[in-house]
Amino acid sequence: MKARGLLLLLACLALMGGGMPRQSVFRLSGMVVDTEGRGIGGVVVNDGVGFALTGADGRWALVTDTFRSKFVSISTPAGFRLPQDSGLAAGFFVPVGRAVAGGGWRFVLERRPVAADSFYYVAVSDPQVRNASDVARWRGEAVASLRSTVAALSRSREVVGVALGDLVFDDMGLFDDYAGSVAGMPMTMFQCIGNHDFDRRLPALRHAPEGAPAYAEMAYHRRFGPTDYSFNIGLVHIVTMCNIDYRGGGRYAELLSDSQLSWLERDLSYVPRGSLVILNMHAPGWNREGAAANIDNAPRLERALSGYRVHVFCGHTHFFQNVEVGDSLYQHNIGAASGAWWSGDVNRCGAPNGYMVAAVDGDSISWRYVASDRSADCRMRVWAPGTFAGHEGFVVANVWDYDSRCRVEWMQGGRPMGGMERFVGVDRGPSPRGAGAAAVPTSHLFRCRPRPGGGRVTVVVTDRFGGRSYGEVLADGTVRLWSGRG
């Protein structure tokens, strides 16, 4: 009843305007210029529905329904620096109300002295802080690790970051704390909205009464800007989209609407076919384990992305899963920075709390997962025989960033023994604690049965890029881990 009453109040407010209907459709116009005031031609401008290209003089114009569209944004061209404020992405969008009040809008971009064809891309999933304890762990563990990693990466090339949603856990008042925690790093940090970044008291804009003065993503909009946007850096086109269809009261579906998919197709129409595209979204599309969290219309999204070489970065599930959807479509459902909602030090699949670092060189991409509290090159956990329940006679390895081009092999007494057996099971390491944080089955587990008295066992993991990690089980059951090159 309370929710029905709130919606009725919003509907009434939307219809009130001193007894007169409010104007909602405006012709907005402006320019995109460089720091010397020269117009920049060929820049893509959109309001979430309609698109325009700037002319040679940098001018743009859109007819915008301000009830439907809340921002005008530009897709920053590769020849210009990504606009930011204290490290947080900013300056590529304007609220439509400000554009109306100001009679238009002028976007200002700084030209790059040299192309940024090589850069690092840092993806962080689900900080999901809800109280002072979570904030302390986020800052003391994940952010401390991020600052160290980004400082080292930025010495050699530009760093771009993205938080893949659930920045907070239903408390919009913590947005500023999140923003302050990632500000000031030597990178440009973008954001994606997750289901816990909506105000539970309200429906999302698309479900609110037309012209409603409040809607569920309003606080996110005010702090971080639009939820669907794109930019270019080097040879890569990067898109971020909201794939949470929020109804209010914690009710939602993992979904991209038809209008959003049309927006994506229009956005990609300005990108040469065959280009490398990175798509950021909160919920996954193609998980094989835990598929209930996938978006409902993944085949439609796949069609929209066809013709491009796409890497999708997502979170939401609090477990790690790589999915090779097709030859040109790869999904990284990365482990959460919060693990299993800050209930321990691991995700629900046993992968450590952490984040992904991708290296982009031209139109190629490589990646590695960085655990917040351990070596950046640590890629597995290993159990000695008798320590992994249900597989007592086996050495077991959890290789969280596994995919089909990764090799998991073993040796005993220095003698190669071949590949380890892959199986689906539940990680038996330090389990997440608390309601809803239970471990889930994962397919990145491997096992081998060593011969008693045959000497030490060595697990060798070789990733698709030639990087190697080792896990050694000594005769007394001690396990040690290290990394190197092939």
- At residue 330's C-alpha, the angle toward residues 263 and 42, to 5°, is 35
Domain-located, residue 16: no
Please report which confidence band the pLDDT of residue 376 belongs to, taking 50, 70 and 90 as the band edges: low
Token pair belonging to 84: 């930011």
One domain, residues 104 and 153: no
Domain-located, residue 443: yes
| Whole-angstrom distance, CA of residue 50 vs CA of residue 231 | 17
Domain-located, residue 3: no
One domain, residues 87 and 127: no
User: How many percent of the chain have pLDDT more than 70?
Assistant: 93
One domain, residues 412 and 346: no
Greater pLDDT, 397 or 11: 397
Domain-located, residue 12: no
Domain-located, residue 281: yes
Closest CA to 226 of 106, 73, 100, 64: 73
- At residue 425's C-alpha, the angle toward residues 422 and 427, to 5°, is 105
Identify the domain boundary among 92, 109, 126. Answer: 109
Report how many domains make up the chain.
3
Identify the domain boundary among 65, 81, 109. Answer: 109
One domain, residues 184 and 41: no
Q: Which pLDDT tens digit goes with each residue over 317-358?
A: 999 999 999 999 999 999 999 999 999 999 999 999 999 999
CATH number of the domain that residue 403 is part of: 2.60.40
Identify the domain boundary among 109, 141, 161. Answer: 109
* Cα atoms in the 13 Å half-sphere on the side-chain side of 322: 19
One domain, residues 68 and 155: no
Q: Regarding beta strands 276-280 and 236-240, do their DSSP bridges make them parallel or antiparallel, or are they unpaired?
A: parallel
DSSP helix/strand/coil, 243: coil
Closest CA to 302 of 333, 317, 334, 324: 324
Contacts of 463 (CB under 8 A, 6+ apart): 368, 379, 401, 405, 406, 469
Question: Taking the CB of residue 77, how many other CB atoms lie within 10 A of it?
Answer: 19
One domain, residues 442 and 330: no
One domain, residues 387 and 439: yes
pLDDT of residue 22: 74
CATH number of the domain that residue 166 is part of: 3.60.21.10
pLDDT of residue 21: 57
DSSP helix/strand/coil, 239: strand
Closest CA to 121 of 319, 294, 360, 344: 360
Interhelix angle for 258-268 vs 298-305, to 10°?
10
- 8 A C-beta contact, residue 351 and residue 369: yes
One domain, residues 169 and 312: yes
Domain-located, residue 363: yes
User: Per-residue pLDDT for 150 more than 70?
Assistant: yes
pLDDT of residue 9: 41
- 8 A C-beta contact, residue 379 and residue 407: no
* DSSP per residue, 388-403: STT-TTSEEEE-TT--
Whether pTM > 0.85 for this model: the answer is yes
One domain, residues 456 and 324: no
| Average pLDDT, integer, range 81-93 | 97
| Average pLDDT, integer, range 407-419 | 97
One domain, residues 136 and 93: no
Domain-located, residue 91: yes
Q: Which pLDDT tens digit goes with each residue over 64-84?
A: 999 999 999 999 999 999 999
Among the ranges given (53-57, 431-435, 454-458), the one the predictor scored with the smallest mean pLDDT: 431-435
One domain, residues 337 and 396: no
| Whole-angstrom distance, CA of residue 6 vs CA of residue 387 | 55
| Average pLDDT, integer, range 125-148 | 97
One domain, residues 227 and 334: yes
Among the ranges given (157-166, 255-264, 290-299, 426-435), the one the predictor scored with the smallest mean pLDDT: 426-435
Domain that holds residue 74: 21-109
Domain-located, residue 270: yes
Token pair belonging to 233: 């850096």
Q: Regarding beta strands 276-280 and 309-314, do their DSSP bridges make them parallel or antiparallel, or are they unpaired?
A: parallel
